[in-house]
Structure 1
Amino acid sequence: MLDSVVRYGTVSRIVATCAVVRPITCLLAALSAACGGYFTSDPSGLAWDRGVLSMVCMAGLMGVANAVNDIVDFPSDRVSKPQRPIPSGRVAIPTAWSVVTALAILTVTTAAALGLAEMLFAAVLLVLAFAYSYRFKGTVLVGNLIVGVVSCGTLLFGSTASGRMTLSSCLAAGFILLFVVAYEIVKTLQDRDADSAVGLRTLATKYEPGVSVAAYTAVATILCSAALGVGARVSSEPSSYVVFLVPCLIAPVCSCAYILRSWPDRDRSTARSLLILRLAWFPGLVSLTLLK
């Protein structure tokens, strides 16, 4: 593998190393932390320095989670996703571990600067990220739930760092948890063949695809019902909340359920659903700020 790394230029290797941490998801984690801080108090009372530190911390955390996941996925990615930075040879595994170490240090030090509670919170999220890749990735739904917990934890971390958790921030985190679990169910369905080849036991590899589709539909139904029913009651501006929530979150989630259940081409339906859910992540997060 080292020989293949040498073939690539410096710029290509730098770009590939950045790709290992998946900058877009790191940015989304930072924005999720900012969203959590937004729920704590009125803008004039917000501690912007703590908010920025929480965003940097959660971006680092997500970078660690992504890089470790790519390292652990190397055997299966060689078969199903050879274009990724590590299996393609653009990034050596020792280099990826160096990135993980640097980002882990960044995460812990920025969390420590915020306080003991924040440092412990970040440490728990880091442990969960490692536990997912090394122990729970090959489980039925448990791994999906852990990814959801880490993702919604970024918002709760922002609330903790900027003040305190509120009912609105807890509800928003709950909706993120359900959204990410639904996304992960579809993702394991897409990765079914590769996961099966390396012996991973997931909902998609253990059961027929229809079971994963039913599980996604069930989680999506709970998410939409809770976001509309409970969220509208909590929001101080329920009309605006619903107006933004329906096109930004409800419609994409429901359209994916329709696609997964009605399109006969399983590969095409899962790919399209994942694209829709990825595109819905940011506008959906923005719409949840109206829970305040």
Structure 2
Amino acid sequence: MKADNVQSKREILTALIELMLIKSTPVCALTAALGVATTGILDPKSITMVALIFGTLMGGFFSLDSVKDIEADKINKPDRPIPSGRLSIKQAESFVVILFSLSVLFIITLYASTSSLQTLLLAFLGLVLAISYTLPPTLSRIPLLSNAILASLFTIFPLLTGWTLFKPLNQAPFFIIGALFFLAWGDIEDFEDVEGDEFVGIKTLPILIGIKKAAVVFSLIVSLSLIIGVYAFLTDFKSYWLISLPQQFTMGFLILQLIKTQEKNDIFRIHYLCQILSISTGLTLLIGYILLG
């Protein structure tokens, strides 16, 4: 009986970790940490705190989204913790409250030690967007705006929150932040989830205008990252821009391939490759800036 109880708790813990999309949440936490590092001040306490803020914030965001999208997930992702029955809605909701509460606690703790009003406002605005994305008025139901919010939660808010701990907002590396923001639009999960989203009445762009036209739109948006990269390289000739340009181009090109194929396996493959390119490009630009300015 005791062994079964231990196993049950272990299974619940595993399901909770999976619920917060453990692959995506650390990426956002790392982005926030790099936001601090780009200031040139490698303060371990500050880096840890912003990573905890956005780790719990995005963990709560993904968990809440899973609770609200359970009907769509029964079709799109039936193996996820809630639709598979490994986790109850009540357990998931309690986990969401814990994660968002921890995020608030970490934000207040960071502000108490730094007194940076800009940092406080950016972190809280990110938290408000993360919650309002799924709760009424349900911004996740608005095509393009929902994608912009998601991209900003992965780039603008963690990077600027980290930056403003030690430097003024107007001195932030906006070329890099802008390039990464548009690159984050390459998260093409809307294309993967067409079947379930259509079933429950969620009007994403691929559903409204079709996969082929939506692929062109997203490819063009991602290409804005490439345009920023070319301009930035011609302006300051930093080598990290030159390294990132082929990655940015490849990502836009991959999304455009959705015009030719709408097979689910191909969409999964393109999405996976875009995620890798997005992370590698982000690391190239941010680490390059930390080392070379």
Q: Into which bin does the TM-score normalised by the smaller protein fall? A: 0.7 to 0.9
1:189 touches 1:204 (CA, 8 Å); kept in 2? yes
How is 1:211-226 mapped onto 2 (pairs within 5 angstroms)?
211-226=213-228
Name which of 42, 48, 51 aligns with 2:47: 51
Map 1:228-247 to 2 at 5 A.
Answer: 228-231=230-233, 233-234=235-236, 238=238, 240-247=239-246
Deviates more, 1:61-70 or 1:147-156: 147-156
Aligned to 1:159: 163
- Provide the residue aligned with 2:182 in structure 1: 178
Task: Check whether the contact 1:156–1:170 (CA below 8 A) recurs between aligned residues.
Answer: no
Aligned match of 2:129: 128
1:177 is paired with a residue whose SS is: helix
- 1:192-242 CA deviation, whole Å, 9 max, x = no partner? 1211100111211111212111101211221111123225524xx61x213
Matches of 1:98 and 1:15, distance apart in 2: 15
Q: Does 1:191 align with 2:193?
A: yes
Equivalent position of 1:280 in the other structure: 277
Answering whether residue 92 of structure 2 is matched by residue 96 of structure 1, we say: yes
May I ask how many residue pairs the two structures share in their alignment?
276
Q: CA deviation at 1:245?
A: 0.9
C-alpha distance in structure 2 between counterparts of 1:131 and 1:113, whole Å = 23
Contact 2:35–2:163 (8 Å) recurs in 1: yes
Contact 1:159 1:169 in 2 (8 A): no
Within 1, Cα distance between the matches of 2:198 and 2:160? 34
User: Does the residue aligned with 2:141 lie in a helix, a strand or coil?
Assistant: coil
Residue 242 to residue 171, structure 1, CA distance change in 2 (3 Å): closer
Match in the other structure for 1:253? 251
| Cα offset, 1:285, TM superposition | 1.5
Task: Tell me the CA shift for residue 143 of structure 1.
Answer: 0.7
Cα deviations across residues 81-138 of structure 1 (Å, max 9, x unaligned)? 1100011111111111221111112211111122162333222111111221231112
CA deviations over 1:232-271 (Å, ceiling 9, x no partner):
524xx61x21343135x3254134134223x334423321
Distance 1:190 1:99 in 2: 26
1:13 corresponds to 2:9: no
Instruction: Provide structure 2 residue ranges, at least 5 long, that are not aligned to the other structure.
Output: none
Corresponding residue SS for 2:165: helix
Q: Percent identity?
A: 21
Q: Deviations over 1:134-166 (max 9, x none)?
A: 311122211111111222211111112343336
Is the 8 Å Cα contact of residues 244 and 287 (structure 1) preserved in structure 2? yes
Compute the TM-score of the two structures, normalised by the length of structure 1.
Answer: 0.86
TM normalised by structure 2 equals: 0.86
Aligned match of 1:141 in 144, 151, 154? Answer: 144
CA RMSD of aligned residues (A): 2.1
Distance 2:123 2:95 in 1: 18
Give, as a single letter, the amino acid of the residue that structure 1 aligns with 2:214: S
- Aligned counterparts, 1:109-120, within 5 A: 109-115=105-111, 117=117, 118-120=119-121
Distance 1:200 1:286 in 2: 33
**Matches of 1:177 and 1:109 in 2, distance apart?**
27
Spell out the pairing of 1:8-47 with structure 2 (5 A cutoff).
Answer: 9-40=8-39, 42=40, 45-47=41-43
SS of 2:173's equivalent in the other structure is helix
The answer (yes or no) to whether the contact 2:223–2:248 under 8 Å persists in 1 is no
